[in-house]
Amino acid sequence: MKLQRNGRTKALALGAVAVVSTLTLAACGSNNNNASSGSSASASTGASATAAATNCGSGSVQLLAAGSTAQQNAISAWVQKFQAICPNVTIDYSGTGSSAGRTSFTAGKVAFAGSDSAMKPADEAKTGSACGGTGQAINLPMVGGPISIGYNVPGVSNLVLNASVLAQIFDGKITTWNDPAIKALNPSATLPSLKIQTFHRSDGSGTSANFSAYLAAAAKADWTYGSNSQWPAPTGQSAKGSAALAAQVSQVSGSISYFELSYATAKNITTASILAAPGGTAVAPSGTAAAAAVSEATVAGTGQDLALNLNYATTTAGAYPISLVTYEIVCDKGNNATTLPAVKAFFNYAISPAGQQVAASAGYMVLPTAISSKVQAEIANLS
């Protein structure tokens, strides 16, 4: 499809969903394309009232974005509700992975990128052209949740793991499920002499960045590869996207991988509880437990940028340490004036209490108010 450009890119505004059956996903698009492929949700009385108070922009607007697969299920749920608020807006989100999303944003191919790791300041400085020459990218945390450790071991449930054992498993040092280190954490379990098959992301992924950051912070003696969006360890098998990892675990006996809890829930995959401190209580992945960990985050970004530092080595009771915050990367200035109202409307819905509850129902978490209030203030400043 031919894209018409004006400064940032007229055709591109914001995008949001790859897995919504009522929306047509496209690798490219234009505001000249009518939203005939996106059917509007029936508006309730409450939605109608909200729509009356929301500036959705004028005419048919198509919003495009790409990136993180971690947030796809949340965005899918948001889009279904948002269509009742702004029926003139069609939202298309392509789950290409965080790294690809950031690249597309920098190239001006999308107006919004989903990323499970914040865009670094050096890379933000390269986005001036994509932001009309007047602004640059900022990170807005919008979705949070646990990275579950899904496994497929026949006859084994309620598995407990810790950072050290996980690091050795994903480094290929622990190779069978009845290894003494696993047995020590699960003394009452009947662990089979079954080969462990690890799966990691083949594409650049913020989920990989966050999981490897957890291993680097909480298992320093056992994990020597640091943190990277490209899986840093040389062992294991790979698949593209969180959904593909979940599919492998669902199908392969003896397998283990990492993906957002919503993917585990969708495929009924058993997940491990994580023991953060010796003598403590293992914590299962949940929105509430993830929120307890994310509440310890501090803002690392400057100005309008709300990139966060997460405490992956937390030992706080009830906190699930393998948690992430996934961002929407957008221009602080230089956004297309025609589509900016719809961009703000969608962002404001996503970060609102109602939007966060919708995300929680999809397996994510409600972001702490201390974070969401900052996001709301920066949305208002987008221009």
Instruction: State mean pLDDT over 357-365.
Output: 92
Instruction: State mean pLDDT over 348-363.
Output: 95
For 146-294, CATH number?
3.40.190.10
Instruction: State mean pLDDT over 302-316.
Output: 96
pLDDT digits (tens, 9 = 90+) for 185-223: 999 999 999 999 999 999 999 899 999 999 999 999 999
pLDDT at 54 over 90: no
Instruction: State mean pLDDT over 75-83.
Output: 92
| 0.85 surpassed by pTM | no
Instruction: State mean pLDDT over 117-139.
Output: 96
Q: Residue 8: its pLDDT value, please?
A: 39
pLDDT digits (tens, 9 = 90+) for 226-263: 999 999 999 999 999 999 999 999 999 999 999 999 99
Q: Output the DSSP codes for 151-164.
A: E--TT--S-EE-HH
Q: Confidence class of residue 51 from pLDDT cuts 50, 70 and 90?
A: low
Instruction: State mean pLDDT over 351-361.
Output: 96
Instruction: State mean pLDDT over 25-40.
Output: 30
The residues, any chain, with a CB within 8 Å of residue 226's CB and separated by 6 or more, are: 212, 216, 232
Q: Confidence class of residue 112 from pLDDT cuts 50, 70 and 90?
A: confident
Residue/partner pairs of 56-60 with CB below 8 Å, 24 or more apart: 56/85, 56/86, 56/88, 56/89, 56/341, 56/342, 56/345, 57/86, 57/88, 57/89, 57/338, 57/339, 57/340, 57/341, 57/342, 57/345, 58/88, 59/88, 60/31, 60/34, 60/35, 60/88, 60/90
pLDDT digits (tens, 9 = 90+) for 173-187: 999 999 999 999 999
pLDDT digits (tens, 9 = 90+) for 319-338: 999 999 999 999 999 998 88
Which comes out higher in pLDDT, residue 341 or 38? Answer: 341
Instruction: State mean pLDDT over 70-99.
Output: 92
Q: Residue 70: its pLDDT value, please?
A: 87
Q: CA-CA distances (angstroms) from residue 208 to 47, 55, 69, 200, 297?
A: 37, 37, 12, 8, 19
Q: Residue 195: its pLDDT value, please?
A: 98
